[in-house]
Amino acid sequence: AMSCALNFVCGVNGRVRSVESRVNRCQYGRLEQSAVVRFGKSGVRSARRVAVITALSSNELRPGVTIEIEGQVYRVMEFLHVKPGKGAAFVRTKLRNLTNGGSVEKTFRAGESVDQAILDKVVMQHTYKNGEDYVFMNMESFEEETLSVAQIGEDTCKYIMEGLEVDVLQHEGKVLSVDVPKTMTLTVTQTDPGVKGNTVQGGTKPATLESGAVINVPLFINEGEKVKVDTTDNKYLGRAND
């Protein structure tokens, strides 16, 4: 993550002053952003915000970089710079669509200009549910935002509990993804009784966690125990006190 300065130029009664603000950026791109606010007798009359993003060369693509293609935002997952014996060099990539989660493979000419997508990373805390929707509070502005299961993702929802802080990635105000902590410690609320000594080598059983997620745990785990979980693949990592 990095921070980029935003310069706001405000005209008040004919005078111009600049105010600098900072936002967290999850992408190491280059960004210039400005806002022009016009004040009338009754207060703020209109506002205009313009963002200018410097394009990347395809040679600069690396895993984790986010780019925009035909209005869709993608994250580079894999890349390979190829220089054949004959013909022009090119860059082969595997991209993940951050809107629908799909993966695509795309090839760029070496040195081709690529639009970079600058994402805002906002920390939010889950406060309560409103029907099937989840209500979050922005930890900086303290404003509330309601997100649907579709926006969050069904798998992610299985780990969201009241009070949990999440990272929300946005592009031009649109939510692209909601990320829970990669590792969480949760209590087992339902599972079959544990087997003393774990007599079955490598045996596992399903267990329901306090968040609602279901994972496979070793046979010796009992209800009420706290376990560590990798939320990216629902994998048991061990007892909380291990």
Q: Is 99 exposed, middle or buried (0-12, 13-18, 19+ CB in 10 A)?
A: middle
At the top level of CATH, the class of 56-114 is: mainly beta
What CATH topology corresponds to 183-239?
OB fold (Dihydrolipoamide Acetyltransferase, E2P) (2.40.50)
Query: Which residue numbers in the chain have pLDDT < 70?
Result: 1-54, 196-201, 242
| Tokens 């105010």 sit on residue | 19
pLDDT score of 200: 54
pLDDT score of 197: 60
pTM of the model: 0.64
Give the Cβ contact number of residue 67 at 10 Å: 23
Q: How far does Cα 87 stand from its chain's mean position?
A: 38
- Let me know if domain 120-179 sits in CATH 2.40.50.140: yes
Q: Where in the chain is the domain with CATH 2.30.30.30?
A: 56-114
